[in-house]
Amino acid sequence: MFTKAERLISLRNLRPKKKEGFLKIISIFSFLGIMLGVSILIIVMSVMNGFKTDLTKKILGLNPHIIIQPNSFEIDDSYISKLKTDFQDISLSRSFSGEGIVISNNNAKGVILKGINKDEQKTIEFFKNFIASGDFKNFSSNHIFIGTELAFNLNLREGDTLSIMSSSFVSTPLGNLPKQENFKVAGIFNTGFLEFDQNIIFLDIQDALSIFDKDKKDQNVEIYLESPLKANTYKNKIQEINKNYFIYTWSDLNKSLFSALKVERNVMFIILILIVIVAAFNIISGLTILIKNKTKEIAILKTLGLSNKSIKKTFFLTGVTIGFLATLSGTILGILISLNVDKLRIILSNVFNFEIFPSDIYFLDTLPSEINFNSILIIFLISILISMIASYLPAMRISKMSTFRALRYE
């Protein structure tokens, strides 16, 4: 593609003379700009990929994949049997959730009360993975499990007693009052998902039905899949069995969150690509100045028989070489930082005494990073393409250059 002479001339262009120091500075800035743009783009995309993956795993690990609500129609045993027959790769459990207020030590907080069956496999697995204090064997009637954040906010420990007020009302001589019952803290769980740990209380399903003045026909059915990402497909099939029930998936509950993440990721990609484009403008200006300074040499090469096409290729190769090496360096730097981004976060936080990644805002206690080689390949190719375009534009000016005028005063 490139002859030996073209490669030699291009290599010579990459090493400007001392009197061309300004040109050298432009080349260095072109290299650094593209390298930093590519590396930052890879780091940001890796962190956002990691954030999405980690958040998805947290949500899938803490919530059912599909929920079926009665919607004023009782979910009978024949319907459950039908589901088990048609979808043998799913597991089902009964639950009931509602909003309430927990009162303790003169403090009150709104929470989600979730009634569960302690004998079901998913419940056992959850507490096996996330229990931080207490014994799951103590989880029985009038006993609850709370998250670490809620325990900290209300200054509660295992064995303490608190009062829970539901959104249901009971009739009294004084009028309708919210239903309220006392519970004992059987233990504390810690999922690492702060929003979950400070807002969810687990209690026995019979206690949940009692405090909300409900009965068995009001229970929800929770479905867990082997492939949670196929939840919407299963939802449509389950809906066809009986359209009287209200069915929604984990993605329906978090649709706005993941949509926001997708938009943010795309916007960040466009913004950071613009950084690479701006850096590539330095290649255009650098090659333009180089061609201007090399007018005499270009004219001599033309006189010696080197074609316009070959001369264009030499300057094109000069710009592409800068872009390629900068892109390669940026890719390597981006991957290395992405692999150690959480360690870097800890170091910077300690040095500047400032929390760079507040866990109470981002719901995660570590800075996640996931390297996607397809994304890296796309970034690499886009950067090379931008460099090629930036190199091609000034190289085209050579065809307009007059050999006679260039050598007139030589």
Position 156 in a domain: yes
Query: Does residue 313 sit in the same domain as residue 174?
Result: no
pLDDT tens-place string over residues 114-130 = 998 888 887 888 888 88
Over residues 389-403, the mean pLDDT reads: 70
Distinct helix (H) and strand (E) counts, the chain: 16, 10
Query: Does residue 15 sit in the same domain as residue 106?
Result: no
Strand ranges in 78-174 using DSSP code E only, listed in sequence order: 90-104, 107-116, 131-134, 143-147, 161-172
Position 236 in a domain: no
Residue 294 has pLDDT above 70, yes or no: no
Residue 362 has pLDDT above 60, yes or no: no
The total of structural domains in the chain comes to: 2
Query: Does residue 116 sit in the same domain as residue 191?
Result: yes
Residue 165 has pLDDT above 80, yes or no: yes
Pick the residue with more confidence: 85 or 301? Answer: 85
Query: Does residue 277 sit in the same domain as residue 216?
Result: no
Q: Quickly state the pLDDT bin for 331 (edges 50, 70, 90).
A: very high
Query: Does residue 270 sit in the same domain as residue 207?
Result: no
Pick the residue with more confidence: 8 or 143? Answer: 143
Kindly state the tokens that stand for 199. 């807002």
Query: Does residue 272 sit in the same domain as residue 221?
Result: no
C-alpha 82/C-alpha 195 separation (Å) is 35
Position 218 in a domain: yes
Pick the residue with more confidence: 101 or 76? Answer: 101
Q: How does DSSP assign 251-275, residue by residue?
A: HHHTHHHHHHHHHHHHHHHHHHHHH
Query: Does residue 196 sit in the same domain as residue 284?
Result: no
Kindly state the tokens that stand for 59. 């949500």
Query: Does residue 261 sit in the same domain as residue 402?
Result: yes
Residue 159 has pLDDT above 70, yes or no: yes
Q: Which of 22-36, 78-92, 321-335 has the highest mean pLDDT?
A: 321-335
Query: Does residue 311 sit in the same domain as residue 390?
Result: yes
Q: What is the b/e burial string over 293-332, where b = at least 16 CB atoms within 10 angstroms of the residue's CB? A: bbbeebbebbeeebebebbbbbbbbbbbbbbbebbebbbe
Query: Does residue 385 sit in the same domain as residue 288?
Result: yes
Position 378 in a domain: yes
Position 112 in a domain: yes
pLDDT tens-place string over residues 167-186 = 777 666 666 777 888 999 99
What is the pLDDT at residue 12? 66
Residue 328 has pLDDT above 90, yes or no: yes
pLDDT tens-place string over residues 236-285 = 888 888 888 888 888 887 777 777 778 878 888 888 888 888 877 777 77
Q: Quickly state the pLDDT bin for 346 (edges 50, 70, 90).
A: confident
Residue 409 has pLDDT above 50, yes or no: no
Query: Does residue 394 sit in the same domain as residue 262?
Result: yes
pLDDT tens-place string over residues 15-27 = 665 555 555 677 7
Work out the percent of the chain whose per-residue pLDDT is above 90: 7
Position 213 in a domain: yes
What is the pLDDT at residue 117? 86
What is the pLDDT at residue 146? 92
Q: Of 225, 242, 265, which residue is a domain's last?
A: 225
Query: Does residue 210 sit in the same domain as residue 285?
Result: no
Position 238 in a domain: no
Residue 7 has pLDDT above 80, yes or no: no
Please state, rounded to an integer, the average pLDDT across all residues of the chain.
80
C-alpha 388/C-alpha 400 separation (Å) is 20
pTM listed for this prediction: 0.67
What is the pLDDT at residue 28? 78
What is the pLDDT at residue 188? 92
CB 325 within 8 A of CB 31: yes
Position 241 in a domain: no
C-alpha 239/C-alpha 328 separation (Å) is 51
Residue 406 has pLDDT above 60, yes or no: no
Pick the residue with more confidence: 53 or 189? Answer: 189
Q: Quickly state the pLDDT bin for 203 (edges 50, 70, 90).
A: very high
Residue 364 has pLDDT above 70, yes or no: no
Q: What is the DSSP letter of 140?
A: -
What is the pLDDT at residue 352? 75
pLDDT tens-place string over residues 29-56 = 778 888 888 898 898 888 888 888 877 7
Structural domain containing residue 46: 4-57+257-407
